[in-house]
Amino acid sequence: MKTRSKILFASTIGSAMTLGVAAAIANDAADTPSITPKTMADALHMVMDSDRAVYTRRIVNRLAAKEKVITASEHFEDEKALVLPAQMFRFGAEMVTERAAENPDVNFSYSLQSLWPINSQNAPKTDAEKEGLQFVVDNKGENYYTTEELGGQNYFTAIYADTAVSPVCASCHNDHVDSPRTDFKIGDVMGGVVIRIPIES
């Protein structure tokens, strides 16, 4: 009996310690850096790209192209229409910027840019943007990664090709009064998603 209670005591202590250690490891794991900025950028892009694909397919393709019950328009408020997939993407980016400002631990930004933008404010500005956007056009299927300094802060910057996934992507851009390029076709790289993650120097 005596031995048994000793074993019970020891195993109780042992279990308690194991649990404590496990909890400590879990806490440590949450705070230990284990993914690279590149992995994080790739993961973010995968989420953005998938969400946008779902919106394009399940909402716009289905309701506007297939069922024809509503249209999608740049002036969605005035036209009582769906927002264009690229606009949905931009609005998400703006909301992220707003929310990230209040949560510096989760500080990243992203934008949709092009060498042939309809709104000239979405043309590349930094050297990294200019080089990266050209790179993803010239090397279809590849991404561009670099680092840069903006306003005194260092960033890991990743650029992913943004491609015309539907004939209307190409035709809308080709027909838009402010589009500097008018010969896009489906499957063409039209621009790029630029993701920035602040890094220490």
Partner 1 sequence: MLSCLCTLTPLSVHAGEEQYIELSGELAEGRTIWIANCEGCHGYGIAGAPIPMRARDWAPRVDKPAEELYQHALQGFFGPDDTYMPARGGNDSLSDSDVIQAVNYMVALAKYYLEETENPK
Partner 2 sequence: MKGLPGTSTGSISLAWLVWLFSTCVGCAFFAHVLFKGEDKTVFMPGPLSSGHHQLAESCDSCHTDAFGGGPVLQESCESCHGDVRKKPFDSHPKAKFSDPRNADMLADLNATQCVTCHQEHKAEITLVNGVTQPEDFCYQCHESIAEDRPSHEGMGFDTCANSGCHNFHDNRALYTDFLVKHLDQPEVLEAAGLPEREFADVLDMLIEYPREQFPVETLSQVDADAPEEKQQDATVMAQWEASGHAEQGVNCTACHTSIAIESKADADPAGNEVHWTDEPMAENCASCHGIEVEAFGKGKHGMRLAAGLSPMSVGAARLPMHEDAAHQELTCNSCHAAHDYDVVSAAVEACVGCHADDHTVAYRNSKHYALWLAETEGNGKPGTGVSCASCHMPRVSQDVDDYNSRIVVDHNQSANLAPNSKMIRGACLECHGLGFSIDALMDDQLIVNNFQGLPAMKNDSLPMARELMESHEKRKNGQ
Q: List residues near partner 2 by CB under 8 A.
A: 74-75, 77-78, 91, 93-95, 97-98, 101, 109, 111, 120-121, 125-126, 129, 150-151, 153, 155, 175, 177-178, 182, 194, 196
> Candidates 9-17, 23-31, 101-109, 127-135 — which segment interacts with partner 1 by CB under 8 A?
127-135
Q: Is 155 within 8 Å of 195 (Cβ atoms)?
A: no
DSSP label at residue 106: G
The Cα–Cα gap between 33 and 201 comes to 16
Selection from partner 1, partner 2, none that 10 binds (CB < 5 to 8 A by kind) is none
145 belongs to the binding site for partner 1 (CB under 8 A):
yes
In our burial notation (b when 16+ CB lie closer than 10 A, e otherwise), range 153-192 reads: eebbbbbbbbbbbeebbbebbeeeeeeeeeebeeebbbbb
Contact pick of 51, 134, 165, 198 for partner 1 (by CB under 8 A): 165
Taking alpha carbons only, the member of 87, 90, 85, 86 closest to residue 65 is 85
The Cβ of residue 104 has, within 10 Å, a number of other Cβ atoms equal to 8
**Could you give the string, one character per residue 53-92, with x where binding to partner 1 holds by CB under 8 A and - elsewhere?**
x--xxx--xx--xx--------------------------
140 belongs to the binding site for partner 1 (CB under 8 A):
yes
First to last CA, the chain: 64
Selection from partner 1, partner 2, none that 139 binds (CB < 5 to 8 A by kind) is partner 1
Q: Is 144 within 8 Å of 135 (Cβ atoms)?
A: yes
Chain residues that interact with partner 1, rule: CB under 8 A: 38, 53, 56-58, 61-62, 65-66, 127-128, 131, 135, 139-148, 160-161, 163, 165-167, 170, 185-188
